[in-house]
Amino acid sequence: MSKSPTLKTFARVGALAAAGTLALTLGIVYAGGASADPVTVDPLAGVEGFNTVSRYGTTLASTEMEGPAAVGGDLTLLGGYNIAAHSAGQFTAPGENVPSALVVAGGVDWPASSGYARVLNGYVKIGDLAGTDVLTKDMNQASRTTRAVPAGAGYDANVRVETTVNQPAESVGADTGLDFEALFADFERRSDLLASCEGAGVLNLTGAELNALAEFKFATAPSAANPVVINVDTTATGGVFEWRTPNMPGIGSALAPYIIWNFPDATELTITGGDSVEGTIYAPRADFTDKSPSNVEGAIVAATLSLGTARDNGGEVHHHPFTGSFECEGEEEPGESPSEDESTTPGEETPSEDESTTPGEETPTDDESTTPGEETPSEDESTTPGEETPTEDESTTPGEETPSDDDSTSPGEETSSGQESPSDEVSTVPGDETTTDEASTTDAASTTDKASTTPVGEALPITGSSLTAMVAVAVGAMAAGAAALWVLRTRRARTEH
C-alpha cells in the first residue's frame, strides 16, 4: 500500500520577536505522509492525583502544595512546608479508607533536614522507618495527632513530619504498592511520544526560543477538547535549562489543566523567576529546582524535586494537574508498506506513482519505466534514434536514454528507478541525443502525480465532506487519465505490429 495523504491538525506559531510575544493558533493543513494508527498518550496516567511525583528524592523548603506528594526516594526538609493544603488526593493504600497525602518510598533524611512538613489532610506513608519514631502520644502520654520524628527526639521535635489526624502508628510504615520505577519508565516513554507527536495543540520550541518570550498568548484558549502540549528541546545546552517563565495573559487556574510543558531531554531544569507557570511541568529525566516565588498551576513530574532551597523561596504548587490526552501518529516501520519512488520485483504489478517496471510488465500508471520498443506520447522527453520514450521520472533498460528529472547517465548505463538527483539540470555524455529544450528535464513547474504537500503553516478551510469530495475527484481523474494512456499505447502497439 502506498503512502496516502492525510489531514493533520497543526499548531501555527506567530512569533513577534520585537515584542517577545508568541501567539498560538490551531488550524488544519493538508499534508502528504504515511497514515498510521494513532497512539493515545495520557501523560499523567498512573499518577493517582498526586500534585508532585519524583522518581528519587524530594527536598521541601518553601512554601506549600495544595495536593498530595509522592516521593520515590528520600525526603529532606529544609523549612516549614504544608502538604495537601486543599486535598489529600485519591490514592488509598491497600486495606485503608483514608487517602495517603504524603508517600515516601524511602525514608526521611533527618541528618540533612532542618525543618518540618505538615500534612494537612490524609495519611503519611514512609517506606523506610530506620532512625524514625512514629508517635501518637506526647511526652505526657496524651493522645495526639500522629508524628514521625528522629529516633529519640520526642513528640515536640523541631524536625518532624506531622499530620492532623490520628493515624495508627503501624499504618505509617505499611506498603503502598506504588512502583516508582515502572511509573517513570512510562513517563519517559510518554514524554518521548509527546516530543514526536504531530497534531492539534502541539507546539515545539527550543529552550532559547522559550526564554526569549516575555509573553505567551493563545489565540484559541486551551480546553478539555483542545489541550496543548509545549515540547521544549534543551539539547543545545546539554539538557540543562534555566527557565525564566513568561507571562501568560488570559490563562489562569481554570485553563491550567489543559496545558502541559514537556521537557523530554532535560536533565537539569531550574525555574529562576518570572510569572506563574500555567500548566503541568513534565520532566521525568530532570532534576527540578524551583527558585521562583511565583506559583506552579499544575502538577510536577521530575526525577528529583527541590521546591525552594535554603536561600531561595519557591512558590506554591497549586493542584490543577493536566487532565487531557493526545492522539499521536506513530511512524510506519520500514518495510510495512512500499513508498513512492520504489523499484518493483519481477512479476510484481504495482499501481503506485514513480515506480520502475521490469521487462514485459505493463502498468497503466504515470511515471513508468518502459521496455525497448514501447511508444508513449509524453511531452518533453529524451529519445534515442527511432524510439519514443514515455513520461517523466522513468528509468530505462540498457541502451535507452533516461528522460527522468535531474539524472545523469553514462553510455549503456541502467539507471536506478525512483532516484532523483538534487540538480535542476540533466548532464549528458557523448552519444546522448536529447530533444528537450536547454538540455533540461520536463518543466519543473509541471504538475506530477507525486503526493504533494501544502506549505506548513498555510491553513486550508477544509471540512470533512469537502475533503472527501476532493479526494474522490482527484482519484477519478487519475484513474481516467491512466486508462486513456493505456488504451492509446495499446492501439499504437497493434498498429506497429
Distance of alpha carbon 94 from alpha carbon 105, whole angstroms: 15
Q: Is residue 389 part of a domain?
A: yes
The C-alpha cell at 441 is 528535464
pLDDT at 200: 75
- The pTM (predicted TM-score) of the whole model is 0.64
Query: pLDDT band for position 19 (50/70/90)?
Result: very low
Number of domains the chain is built from: 1
Q: Taking 70 as the threshold, does the pLDDT of residue 270 lie above it?
A: yes
Q: Quick one: average pLDDT of 480-487?
A: 58
Residue among 270, 214, 278 at smallest CA distance from 237: 270
Distance of alpha carbon 456 from alpha carbon 422, whole angstroms: 21
Structural domain of residue 386, as residue ranges? 368-405+478-497
Contacts for 248 with CB less than 8 Å, ≥ 6 apart: 215, 216, 217, 275, 276, 278
Average model confidence (pLDDT) across the chain = 74
pLDDT tens-digit series, residues 279-328: 999 999 999 999 999 999 999 999 999 999 999 999 999 999 999 999 98
Q: Is residue 84 part of a domain?
A: no
Q: Is residue 128 part of a domain?
A: no
pLDDT tens-digit series, residues 174-192: 999 999 999 999 999 999 9
Length of the chain: 497
Q: Is residue 491 part of a domain?
A: yes
Q: Taking 60 as the threshold, does the pLDDT of residue 142 lie above it?
A: yes
Residue among 437, 199, 453 at smallest CA distance from 326: 199
Q: Is residue 398 part of a domain?
A: yes
Which region among 36-45, 200-209, 472-481 has the lowest average model confidence (pLDDT)? 472-481
Q: Taking 70 as the threshold, does the pLDDT of residue 428 lie above it?
A: no
Q: Taking 80 as the threshold, does the pLDDT of residue 492 lie above it?
A: no
pLDDT at 485: 60
Handedness of CA 362, 367, 372, 376 (dihedral sign): positive
Q: Do 53 and 299 contact (CB within 8 A), yes or no? A: yes
pLDDT tens-digit series, residues 321-358: 999 999 987 543 333 333 444 444 444 444 444 444 44
pLDDT at 329: 72
Q: Taking 80 as the threshold, does the pLDDT of residue 369 lie above it?
A: no
Q: Is residue 104 part of a domain?
A: no
Q: Taking 60 as the threshold, does the pLDDT of residue 277 lie above it?
A: yes
- The two beta strands, 326-329 and 38-41, are antiparallel
The C-alpha cell at 456 is 506548513
pLDDT tens-digit series, residues 9-18: 333 344 334 3
Q: Please give the torsion angle defined by the CA atoms of residues 284, 99, 87 and 157, in that order, rounded to the nearest 10 degrees.
A: -90
Q: Taking 90 as the threshold, does the pLDDT of residue 409 lie above it?
A: no
154 C-beta neighbours (distance < 10 Å), count: 13
Contacts for 188 with CB less than 8 Å, ≥ 6 apart: 284, 285
Q: Taking 60 as the threshold, does the pLDDT of residue 28 lie above it?
A: no
Q: Taking 50 as the threshold, does the pLDDT of residue 443 lie above it?
A: no
Q: Is residue 216 part of a domain?
A: no
pLDDT at 18: 39
pLDDT at 371: 43
pLDDT at 198: 87
Q: Is residue 282 part of a domain?
A: no
